[in-house]
């Protein structure tokens, strides 16, 4: 690692990981029209849908598996393994000889991509200032929006001239470049090292990256105690077990709405009477709002707490979606869609909430469980919306369904017990400042 190592290097590397994650999410959709038009391997729309689902299933598996492993073998090796996995299998998609092999490569690549997010969040939260953890969580997750935008731009210029395979080859190459960079810039978790008796190494890294020695010492003490309980078991001890059930449910609701809106918003707005050009512009506005929300909401969460931001974001998003169902004027719909995209970033703030709720030795496992099971919502969302739009419910009923799901997520957030690590720290700080205020 460089002698000039800083937490910024960790943040930028983790941002690159999530950018590649976003790139992968958008890549198949970007080449799908070409694959279907040219009848590559005789692919049908049903098979295309299956491949899209396989990638999400791989991400679900990867998130839960990596979440468990980073608390057992460390953040750094799992992060490097995830980057290597998605780089290799994305590149192999470019030379897949047939449809089954292409589908298999998408599934295996999805495992690597799925593991990247909880690993990046867990590592970032350990190396950035405690007071700015939520903000930097939002920063690294803007990578999803950046990656999607990059794919859209590349697809316009690369696919017509070099073919769809070039897009996957480029993604794999960029991933391998990132792997080389990550080998130099990603350190190991301080808590992980301290918990395994490698305190001198942890102290050296803390000094090298400018991490507070007080924070590192506290993490070390906590890690030694926490090591007596396995990461999985620690999620279900009193004080955490209710939240361990609620967080994946909230994530499921959030990703169901996010993926459903991403996939169907142009079509359902078009069926509501808006022209196609406007509908595509609505999608762009949604993404702009989402990117803004990732940074702004996560930054606000550092000041007022992630619980209020997550719950309030889902609530406001649900109200905005319900108003869209009333078919207001087009100019007002632009504002509402921007707000919906902004509030959809409550999902980003949720991962930050999970990250500070649990002790360091269980943080990765908790993130993997919440993100992994939440991915099921990403699978269900587009299917549910397609079914509703095709039924007698129509676009109006679909928007109301989104609104209800957002409000359910808000209620579930309120129900998360105030017994997490963040709540305990807040109570201790309040007691230290003024015993009379307790």
- Read off the pLDDT of residues 6-33 as tens digits, 9 standing for 90 and up: 788 899 999 999 998 888 877 887 888 8
Total of domains in the chain: 2
Listed range (27-41, 86-100, 206-220) with the worst mean pLDDT: 206-220
238/180 same-domain check: no
| Average pLDDT over every residue of 312-333 | 92
Regarding whether 169 and 30 lie in a shared domain, the answer is yes
The pair of three-digit structure tokens given for residue 229, joined into one six-digit string? 């309980």
Residue 88 pLDDT > 90: yes
**Residue 213 lies inside a defined structural domain of this protein:** no
| Residue 49 pLDDT exceeds 70 | yes
Q: How far is CA 38 from the centre of its chain?
A: 33
- For 238-270, how does the pLDDT look when each residue is reduced to its tens digit (9 = 90+)? 889 999 999 999 999 999 998 888 767 766 777
Residues 6+ apart with CB under 8 A from 187: 1, 5, 10, 76, 127, 205, 208, 209
Summarize the confidence of residues 155-177 as an average pLDDT.
91
CA distance 14 to 8: 10
Q: Which residues have C-beta within 8 Å of that of residue 408, sequence separation ≥ 6? A: 253
Nearest to 371, CA basis, from 113, 14, 64: 64
Q: What is the mean predicted confidence (pLDDT) over 102-126?
A: 91
Alpha carbon 175 to its chain's center: 18
For the stretch 363-415, pLDDT in tens is 888 988 998 888 888 888 878 877 887 788 888 888 899 999 999 999 999 99
User: Is 124 within the bounds of a domain?
Assistant: yes
What is the C-alpha to C-alpha distance for residues 173 and 89, in angstroms, rounded to an integer? 11
Q: Do residues 368 and 118 make contact, with C-beta atoms less than 8 angstroms apart?
A: yes
Average pLDDT over residues 190-218: 73
Question: Does a structural domain hold residue 28?
Answer: yes
Residue 182 and residue 65 in one domain = yes
Residues 281 and 393 in one domain: yes
- What percentage of the chain carries pLDDT values higher than 70? 88
Residue 438 domain-assigned (yes or no): no
User: What's the DSSP call for residue 435?
Assistant: G
Q: Which residue range forms the structural domain that includes residue 355?
A: 234-422
Separation CA 205–CA 194 (nearest Å) = 11
For residue 216, is it within any domain?
Answer: no
> Residue 412 has what pLDDT?
97
Average confidence (pLDDT) over 201-221: 65
- Mean pLDDT in residue range 263-283: 69
Query: Would you state the pLDDT for residue 432?
Result: 40
pLDDT bucket at 99, cuts 50 / 70 / 90: very high
In a domain, 158, yes or no: yes
Residue 203 in this model has a pLDDT that exceeds 90: no
């Amino acid at each position: 690692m460089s002698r000039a190592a800083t937490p910024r290097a960790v943040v930028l590397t983790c941002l690159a990981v999530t950018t590649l994650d976003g790139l992968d999410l958008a890549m198949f959709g970007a080449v799908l029209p070409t694959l279907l038009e040219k009848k590559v391997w005789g692919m049908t729309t049903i098979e295309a849908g299956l491949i899209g689902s396989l990638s999400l299933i791989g991400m679900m598996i990867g998130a839960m598996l990596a979440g468990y492993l980073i608390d057992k073998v460390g953040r750094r090796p799992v992060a490097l393994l995830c980057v290597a996995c998605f780089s290799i299998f994305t590149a192999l998609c470019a030379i897949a000889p047939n449809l089954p092999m292409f589908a298999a490569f998408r599934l295996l690549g999805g495992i690597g991509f799925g593991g990247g997010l909880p690993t990046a969040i867990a590592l970032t939260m350990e190396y950035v200032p405690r007071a700015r953890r939520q903000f930097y969580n939002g920063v690294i997750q803007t990578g999803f929006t950046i990656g999607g935008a990059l794919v859209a731009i590349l697809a316009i210029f690369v696919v017509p001239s070099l073919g769809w395979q070039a897009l996957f080859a480029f993604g794999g190459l960029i991933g391998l470049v990132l792997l080389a960079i990550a080998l130099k810039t990603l350190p190991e978790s301080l808590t992980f090292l301290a918990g395994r008796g490698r305190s001198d190494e942890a102290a050296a890294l803390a000094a090298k990256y400018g991490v507070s020695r007080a924070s590192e010492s506290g993490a070390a003490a906590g890690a030694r105690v926490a090591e007596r309980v396995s990461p999985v078991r620690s999620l279900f001890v009193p004080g955490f077990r209710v939240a361990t059930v609620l967080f994946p449910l909230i994530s499921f609701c959030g990703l169901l709405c996010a993926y459903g809106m991403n996939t169907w918003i142009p079509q359902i707005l078009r069926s509501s009477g808006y022209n196609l050009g406007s509908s595509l512009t609505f999608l762009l506005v949604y993404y702009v709002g989402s990117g803004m929300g990732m940074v702004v909401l996560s930054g606000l969460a550092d000041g007022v707490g992630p619980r209020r931001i997550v719950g309030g974001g889902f609530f406001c998003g649900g109200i905005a979606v319900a108003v869209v169902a009333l078919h207001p004027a087009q100019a007002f719909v632009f504002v509402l869609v921007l707000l919906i995209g902004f509030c959809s970033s409550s999902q980003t703030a949720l991962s930050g909430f999970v990250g500070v709720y649990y002790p360091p030795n269980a943080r990765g496992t908790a993130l993997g469980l919440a993100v992994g099971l939440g991915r099921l919502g990403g699978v269900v969302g587009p299917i549910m919306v397609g079914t509703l739009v095709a039924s007698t419910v129509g676009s109006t009923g679909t928007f109301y369904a989104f609104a209800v799901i957002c409000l359910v997520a808000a209620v579930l957030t309120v129900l998360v017990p105030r017994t997490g690590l963040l709540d305990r720290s807040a109570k201790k700080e309040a007691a230290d400042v003024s015993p009379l205020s307790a």
